[in-house]
């Protein structure tokens, strides 16, 4: 059985081995049998050795891709026509160049399939994103995997999110500290350490405290075992411990505090303790809050506290310097505590942030609003109105004016109070007619 094909090209004979006879996607048990004497064959010259030229049919696809690229570079915008698409993206043709557009690069709004926004055979402006070309492609078949990806959304203006107003429950928190004192060191031991820091002798400390000299000597020996003193001289570790004790007391007495709006966007969660609470409508239940974010925040310790926390809580400069110094002191423990007090804060937030949270747990009912991509972090708690009818449960989000149905598995919703407002008038006619018979809605705290 022949193992190769000889091609006459002008005055040159070209050998095409069997493994180079098929295009990349073709499969055939004996590819040599596909060719007959006198056939015209399109191929690529790949190499030359002492026996002459060698060629490849397999390398044609890669050669055409590289030829079609011309001078195109990443960032170049071209017109391309939609050839086909699947669940993961679309393939477009720009002249002879095939471009792949991933699903996430088709639209600024998240879509489940390219057919939602693209039409076959239609032209679109696309921007070249990446060009992947490997070396030695003429002689190595595995290097013939050139790919060009492009983006349609890069040629479209990025939609700006409107700002909407929401109320958030902001709980008070306090920055608290305590000094990490060795377990064997009680108040008397700390008093003795402070006396050593003031260069008092053991006998002077005994006279000052009224304790037997031998007891003071044992205490000083204990301080030495803990590395806080060397003889009657305080060590650097002992000085840091005394500084930590003093600063902790000073800071705790000064009442460093702030407000934490757990359900707000991350950059809007921390507020000064003197932030003015807005008048909260009496007919509404307690503003929205997030148990998950609240619990996570209150567990923060020491250098785990987020950057800018002290600045955003508007702590005084002196207190901020003290806190910064305390974080460097191994004898000081810094933590947060919360009080039962809370205030309603009225904040302007991104509408897309709210929608991103809603899309995680709901399907839109009626005309769908903008759907941010899944990687965009959204809200994880909202105050919504729930309506029940014979078919399903529906949730109204007042700030965006949108209606939602829970995804499979449902949502965590805690009932608050009966809703006295008539939101049904703002809904699509078919939905409004259906819910008009369902009775009033119920305010719910919804965890997304």
Instruction: Provide the whole-model pTM.
Output: 0.71
Residue 270, helix vs strand vs coil = strand
Pair 342, 172: CB distance under 8 Å: yes
pLDDT at 1: 45
317 φ, ψ to 5°? -60, -45
Instruction: Calculate the average pLDDT of the chain.
Output: 85
Pair 141, 58: CB distance under 8 Å: yes
70 has a pLDDT exceeding 60: yes
For residue 15, the tally of other CB atoms under 10 A from its CB is: 15
| Inter-residue long-range contacts of 203-210, CB under 8 Å, 24+ positions, other chains counted | none
pLDDT at 307: 58
Strands 332-350 and 393-397: unpaired
pLDDT in tens, 95-143: 889 999 999 999 999 999 999 999 999 999 999 999 988 888 888 888 8
pLDDT grade for 178, boundaries at 50, 70 and 90: confident
Q: Which residue from 23, 151, 19, 180 is spatially nearest to 78, judged by alpha carbons?
A: 151
Beta bridge partners of 447: 381, 412
CATH topology of domain 74-155: OB fold (Dihydrolipoamide Acetyltransferase, E2P) (2.40.50)
Give dist(CA 113, CA 287) in Å, integer: 37
**What is the percentage of the chain residues whose pLDDT exceeds 70?**
89
3-state helix, strand, coil in the chain (%, to 5): 30, 30, 40
Count Cα atoms within 13 angstroms, Cβ side, for 114.
25
pLDDT at 347: 94
CA 109 to chain centroid, in Å, comes to: 17
Encoded tokens for 426: 């703002």
Return residue ranges of the chain for CATH 2.40.50.140: 74-155
187 has a pLDDT exceeding 70: yes
pLDDT in tens, 217-246: 888 888 888 888 888 888 888 888 887 787
Tell me the average pLDDT across 350-356. Answer: 96
Instruction: Look at the block and give the residue holding tokens 């048990």.
Output: 29
430 has a pLDDT exceeding 80: no
């Amino acid at each position: 059985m022949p193992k190769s094909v000889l091609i006459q090209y002008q005055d040159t004979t070209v050998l095409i081995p069997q493994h180079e006879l098929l295009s990349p996607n073709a499969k055939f048990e004996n590819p040599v049998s596909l060719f007959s004497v006198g056939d015209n064959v399109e191929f690529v010259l790949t190499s030359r050795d002492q026996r002459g030229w060698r060629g490849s049919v397999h390398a044609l696809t890669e050669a055409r891709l590289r030829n079609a690229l011309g001078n195109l570079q990443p960032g170049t915008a071209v017109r391309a026509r939609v050839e086909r698409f699947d669940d993961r993206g679309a393939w477009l043709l720009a002249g002879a160049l095939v471009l792949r557009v991933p699903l996430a690069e088709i639209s600024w709004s998240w879509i489940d399939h390219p057919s939602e926004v693209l039409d076959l055979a239609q032209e679109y402006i696309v921007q070249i994103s990446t060009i992947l070309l490997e070396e030695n492609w003429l002689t190595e078949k595995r290097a013939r995997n050139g790919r060009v990806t492009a983006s349609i959304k890069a040629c479209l203006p990025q939609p700006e999110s409107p700002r909407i107003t929401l109320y958030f429950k902001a709980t008070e928190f306090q920055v608290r500290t305590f000094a990490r004192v060795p377990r064997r060191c009680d108040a008397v031991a700390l008093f003795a350490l402070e006396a050593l820091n003031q260069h008092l002798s053991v006998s002077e400390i005994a006279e000052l405290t009224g304790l037997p000299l031998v007891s003071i000597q044992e205490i000083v020996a204990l301080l030495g075992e803990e590395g806080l003193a060397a003889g009657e001289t305080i060590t650097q570790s002992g000085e840091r411990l005394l500084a930590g004790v003093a600063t902790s007391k000073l800071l705790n007495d000064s009442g460093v505090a702030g407000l934490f709006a757990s359900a707000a966007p991350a950059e809007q969660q921390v507020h000064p303790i003197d932030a003015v609470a807005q008048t909260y409508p009496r007919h509404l239940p307690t503003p929205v809050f997030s148990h998950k974010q609240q619990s996570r925040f209150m567990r923060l310790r020491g250098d785990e506290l987020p950057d800018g926390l002290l600045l955003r809580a508007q702590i005084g400069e002196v207190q901020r310097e003290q806190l910064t110094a305390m974080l460097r002191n191994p004898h000081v423990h810094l933590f947060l505590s919360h009080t039962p007090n809370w205030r309603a804060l009225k904040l302007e937030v991104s509408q897309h942030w709210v929608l991103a949270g809603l899309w995680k747990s709901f399907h839109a009912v009626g005309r769908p609003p903008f759907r941010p991509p899944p990687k965009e972090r959204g809200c994880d708690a909202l105050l919504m109105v729930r309506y029940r009818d014979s078919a399903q449960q529906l949730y109204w989000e007042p700030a965006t004016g949108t209606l939602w149905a829970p995804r499979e598995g449902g949502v965590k919703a805690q009932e608050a109070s009966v809703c006295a407002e008539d939101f049904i008038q703002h809904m699509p006619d078919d939905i409004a007619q259906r819910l008009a018979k369902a009775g009033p809605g119920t305010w719910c705290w919804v965890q997304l």
